Chain A
Amino acid sequence: EVQLVESGGGLVQPGGSLRLSCAASGFTFSNYWMGWVRQAPGKGLEWVANINQDGSEKAYVDSVKGRFTISRDNAKNSLYLQMNSLRAEDTAVYYCLGGDYAGYWGQGTLVTVSS
């Protein structure tokens, strides 16, 4: 059974940092690009970042460039999102996504940026 399980969300103050993780199982993680998508409360989906199979290519939405870093560890079947200089507008459920033609989604982890 394919699973993507996010962790690392929580409450953080503006300007703070969090590192999200996504543990993958049930498919050959290293064969696929992976990404992060977020959804602010009551809002639509927003693509955040992508990474290719070996981690050599990364892309970000403009609003997180210079603050967020996507990475992966294929030996651990894990995807990461390092989030620095967090802002209130980064408050959202963060989903990891990927696998065969973006077929797999995690259940999401909530990040709340508030003082």
Chain B
Amino acid sequence: QAVVTQEPSLTVSPGGTVTLTCGSSTGAVTSGHYPYWFQQKPGQAPRTLIYETSNKHSWTPARFSGSLLGGKGALTLSGAQPEDEAEYYCLLSYSGARRTWVFGGGTKLTVL
């Protein structure tokens, strides 16, 4: 199965902007991979932030946005808050006989 890659860790200053990326071992990430982004804080279940590249759930803070950037999926945080410190995971869908899903390894985001 494919391998999905993310930055292991990133740091952003409070109020700053950071972009997390999500790459695929099979080539460019496209909208056909239906990229999802999840946030997980220590001791909690994950929470879905972004679905199908750029769509937000009702609970997704406006400062988060999703896109495709340079052949990768991207999650941009604009105006980072201390509560945004968390692990972020992307998920890509791969078509085949059965549509399968692969998570990236996660990005530990520090707000400092």
Contact = CB atoms under 8 A, between A and B. Distances in A.
Interaction A to B: yes
A78 interface: no
29 contacts: A37-B103, A44-B89, A44-B103, A44-B104, A44-B106, A45-B38, A45-B40, A45-B46, A45-B89, A46-B103, A47-B91, A47-B100, A47-B101, A47-B102, A50-B100, A58-B98, A59-B98, A59-B99, A60-B100, A61-B1, A61-B100, A95-B45, A95-B46, A101-B48, A101-B55, A101-B57, A102-B36, A103-B51, A108-B45
Given A45-B106, A101-B57, A102-B48, 20 more contacts: A35-B101, A44-B87, A44-B106, A45-B89, A45-B103, A47-B91, A47-B103, A57-B98, A58-B98, A59-B99, A59-B100, A60-B98, A62-B1, A95-B45, A95-B46, A101-B48, A102-B51, A105-B46, A105-B47, A106-B45
B52 interface: yes
A47 B105 CA distance: 12
Interface residues of B, number: 24
Interface string B33-52: 00010101000011110011
